Structures are given as C-alpha cells and as structure tokens.
Structure 1
Amino acid sequence: MSHARFPKVALFDLDGTLLDSAPDMLATVNRMLAIRGRAPMTLDAIRPHVSKGARAMCGAVFPELSIEARDAQVPEFLSVYAEELGRHGRPFDGIAPMLDALEAAGSRWGIVTNKPEGLARDLMLLLGWQDRCAVLIGGDTLPERKPHPLPLQEAVRRLEADIADCVYVGDDERDIQSARAAGMASIAALWGYRLAHDDPRNWQADVMLEQATELLDPTAWPQGGAH
C-alpha cells in the first residue's frame, strides 16, 4: 500500500504551469500588431515564448527590431496585456481539482512567478484564488527574480516552512534552476511553454510530468517533503 503524500508546501510558477495564459498573450500582441497595420500572429507562433517573459514575446513579435527597440515595446505590451488579463486563458485541465486535493490534504500552496506582482494578484482575484494562495512572489517583488533562488527562499520564509518540505513546479528551465539553487525539490511541467530547442531532460528536475492531471496523484510528487 502506498504511503505517498502531497508535499506540505507546493509552490508553482504561473504562466504555463497553473494557467494556459497564451490566449491572453496572443490577444495582446495582435492588438499591438493591428495598431501597426500588420497581420496577426497565431497561437502556435506565440505559445513557445510565453514563459520567457514580456521581452521575449516582444522579440518574437518584432524580430526585425534591435534589442533596445524591442525592450522599448515592453511598457506597451504590459499595458495592453493588463486589459486582456484573464479574458481568454484558463487553468490547465487538472489544476482546479489538484488545488482542491492539496487543500484537502492539509497542504499549503503558493505562486512564485516572474510576472509582475500586480498582474499576478489581479489574476488571483479573477480566478477566485486570492484567499487560497498562501504566498505570492512576483518578478518585481524582490531585487532578484528566477533563476535566482531568492524568490523561492522568500516564499518559504513568509510561510515559515522548511525548504525540505516544499516542492516547486514550473515549465521553464529557470524554474528548475531556481529550485535547485534553493535546495528545493522540483517538477518540470512538460505541458507548459518552451521553445523547440529546449530539452527538459537537461534541466535536472527531480520529476518530469507530461500532463497537469498527473499532479492529482500524490505518488507523482517528490517524496522528500511529504507528510
């Protein structure tokens, strides 16, 4: 008989891990393109870039621009995205019941994302998660962001938890690098967003899962911090 348990604390990346937010990003970049009289992008074209952040998406949309010129598009991107936030995307299949299962097991869960904290908090309200998410660290919450370990370390400190009792789930190599640097067990979310040349086998996560629904099974989680 299995004695596997959910971790005491489960921490998650947001875009590409809990949320399929690519449709919101697509609406954002297509508004920017329409203003410029240019053809819209497809979801398949923008999807691989979503977890890389606003600068990467501006680079994908305007590849002909210099790095400086692309960076200059970021404030516009964030402004338009704030208007499209939560209008088109939704949690991946399996996420809602998984969060229910974590809470039923007495586990706490939180979010550590490189998305600006204000936008992440707005999403919590839209999703009805604001009173359920035990901690939220954004990309501008601290002086460092992932892949630095500080965001995960700060989340653990705020929860008054032990690193050994926590597992971090993310769909980008930076997520796994951050967890490893913090000494935290990790799960690579293969259902998320990544470029064609990204090979999750090289990230050295403790576990790799193909579908978010697999998180419903306690045996799928690294067991070092289970209770």
Structure 2
Amino acid sequence: MGYRIDAVLFDLDGTLLDTAPDMARAANRVLADYDVQPLTAAQIQANTSYGANGLIKAGFGTIPAHLNPTHLRQQFLDYYHDEICLKTSMYSGIDTLLSYLNKNKVPWGIMTNKPEFLTQRLLPYFPVLSEAEVVVCGDTLDKAKPHPDPLWHACQLLNIPPESCLYVGDIEKDMIAARAARMPGAVAGWGYIGDEHHPDLWQAQAILPEPAALIPILEQHNRNESAFFNQSCCTQK
C-alpha cells in the first residue's frame, strides 16, 4: 500500500542555517576564559551540529576535572545569546525550497535540539523561518533527539502521521531519531558533514546534495507514492 509525504520537518543548525561562525565565536570565548587555544576550522565544521557540548568538548579535548561541564555550557549559552546572529546565514537554496513548500501547501516545521530561548531569538532574523507551522526545540519536551518523542510531538502538532512526514537533518543522530520515530529521513548534504562521516551508512532514504534536490523527489514520490521511500522503515507508531 502506498503513502504520501505530506509534511517536512527540518533540523536547524547545519540544515536550514549555517550557525557555525557565531557558535564557534561563543565557544572560543569560553575557551579563552581558560587559556585554551581556539577551535580549528576542522573542529568547528565537525562539531557545530552537536551544539555547545560538542564544541566545548572539542576545544578542551578532555574537560579538566575541576571544571563543571554544566557551568561551561551556561557560559557558552550566555555568550551565544549576546551575539547570536552576527555572521549566521541561511544556506543557499533554502528559500527556494521553502517557497516551493509554501506554494504547494506542504506543511513544514522545525525540530531542533537548540534550546527554545535561543531558537526563538534567532528565527526572527530570517523571516521565512518564522513561517514554520511548528517549532519544536531541544527543551520543548523532557527528551531530545535522538529520542523520537520530539518528532512525534511535531507530527501531532501538524496533524500528520509520522510515516507521512519527512525529516531532513545533517548528522547521524537526526537519522537515528527519524528511524526511531518511524518516519523517512533525508540527509542535508550541504551542511557540516563530509564524506568522512559516511552518511551513506546512516540508513537515510536520501542524501540531498542541495536543498532544491528535495523538490523533484517530493514530486516524483507523491505522483508514484511508493516509488521512492522504503515503506518498511515507515510504519506508524
């Protein structure tokens, strides 16, 4: 039996927005407070999608026992909040993709592990993202990705069953969450990942080289419902 993709959910950092410059600056301010060398470009590329904890751990290597990781994370959040959008930018082609979804009345939303107070501070800088029908953040529920609850919650808000909602994200944890939620997943190949991360092993239904690559996939799939996604991975909860 076929099924449709009737909605799309997106991760935020590394999928809709390139937040690396501003997140790296906040992390480097924390590191500087402890006389630690700033992050390298490779460390920034590899860890931005893992948020404050990923960047801080990359910088320290091993966090010294006398430092409190929770305190370090709070320092990061404070610095990032103060300068959240100095160099952050929307990825090229996202506006085209979102315009297509809006024009074709395909509901879309954002499901990110970014805390709500930062997400809501950042989105107004990009008016098209404020058009998201749902925004679910890392602290909206008591569980975050890769737990499926936030994705299920977003689907409930959209009134769309999980198997009919596509999740687009840029790290393996996003695809793990999609599989746990019994929904199809697509990798944002334009984000922070590289071939060395082996996204071909993430069991995603697609690896998208650019945002616009999703458009013909949606059109083909919804004309020939079971032609693209493997329904065996998309059984409703």
**Smaller-chain TM-score bracket:** 0.7 to 0.9
Please state if 1:62 is matched with 2:90.
Answer: no
Alignment correspondent of 1:49:
47
TM-aligned CA deviation for residue 27 of structure 1: 1.6
TM-aligned CA deviation for residue 167 of structure 1: 0.4
Cα deviation 1:36-64 (Å, max 9, x = unaligned): 45543343331210111211111011124
Within 1, Cα distance between the matches of 2:8 and 2:170? 15
- Do the aligned partners of residues 208 and 67 (structure 1) sit closer, same or farther apart at CA in structure 2, a change above 3 Å counting? farther
Please give the TM-score of this superposition, normalised by the length of structure 2: 0.83
- Alignment check: 8 A CA contact 2:39 2:58 kept: no
TM-aligned CA deviation for residue 219 of structure 1: 4.9
Within 2, Cα distance between the matches of 1:214 and 1:10? 14
2:16 to 1, 15, 18: 18
SS of the aligned residue for 1:193 comes to: coil
Q: Which amino acid aligns with 2:157?
A: R
Which blocks of at least 5 consecutive residues in structure 1 are unaligned? 1-5
- Alignment check: 8 A CA contact 2:10 2:111 kept: yes
SS of the aligned residue for 1:115 comes to: coil
Within 2, Cα distance between the matches of 1:68 and 1:110? 41
TM-aligned CA deviation for residue 165 of structure 1: 2.0
- Alignment check: 8 A CA contact 1:135 1:159 kept: yes
Q: Which amino acid aligns with 2:51?
A: G
Alignment correspondent of 1:191:
190
Please state if 1:97 is matched with 2:96.
Answer: yes
- Do the aligned partners of residues 26 and 53 (structure 1) sit closer, same or farther apart at CA in structure 2, a change above 3 Å counting? closer
Alignment correspondent of 1:182:
181
SS of the aligned residue for 2:207 comes to: strand
Q: Which amino acid aligns with 1:55?
A: N
Alignment correspondent of 1:87:
86
TM-aligned CA deviation for residue 196 of structure 1: 7.5
Within 1, Cα distance between the matches of 2:68 and 2:198? 26
Question: How many equivalent residue pairs?
Answer: 221
Map residues 111-190 of structure 1 onto 2, 5 A cutoff. 111-129=110-128, 131-190=130-189
Cα deviation 1:160-196 (Å, max 9, x = unaligned): 1122321000011111111111111110112222487
Within 2, Cα distance between the matches of 1:21 and 1:82? 12
Which blocks of at least 5 consecutive residues in structure 2 are unaligned? 229-237
Q: Which amino acid aligns with 2:121?
A: D
Q: Which amino acid aligns with 2:153?
A: E
- Do the aligned partners of residues 100 and 58 (structure 1) sit closer, same or farther apart at CA in structure 2, a change above 3 Å counting? same
- Alignment check: 8 A CA contact 1:59 1:70 kept: no
Moved over 6 A (4+): none
Alignment correspondent of 2:233:
none
- Do the aligned partners of residues 200 and 70 (structure 1) sit closer, same or farther apart at CA in structure 2, a change above 3 Å counting? farther
SS of the aligned residue for 1:144 comes to: coil
- Alignment check: 8 A CA contact 2:115 2:137 kept: yes
Deviates more, 1:211-220 or 1:109-118: 211-220
- Alignment check: 8 A CA contact 1:8 1:106 kept: no
- Alignment check: 8 A CA contact 1:7 1:221 kept: no
Q: Which amino acid aligns with 1:179?
A: A
Alignment correspondent of 1:3:
none
Within 2, Cα distance between the matches of 1:130 and 1:219? 20
TM-aligned CA deviation for residue 7 of structure 1: 3.6
- Do the aligned partners of residues 105 and 69 (structure 1) sit closer, same or farther apart at CA in structure 2, a change above 3 Å counting? same
Q: Which amino acid aligns with 1:17?
A: T
Within 2, Cα distance between the matches of 1:29 and 1:69? 15
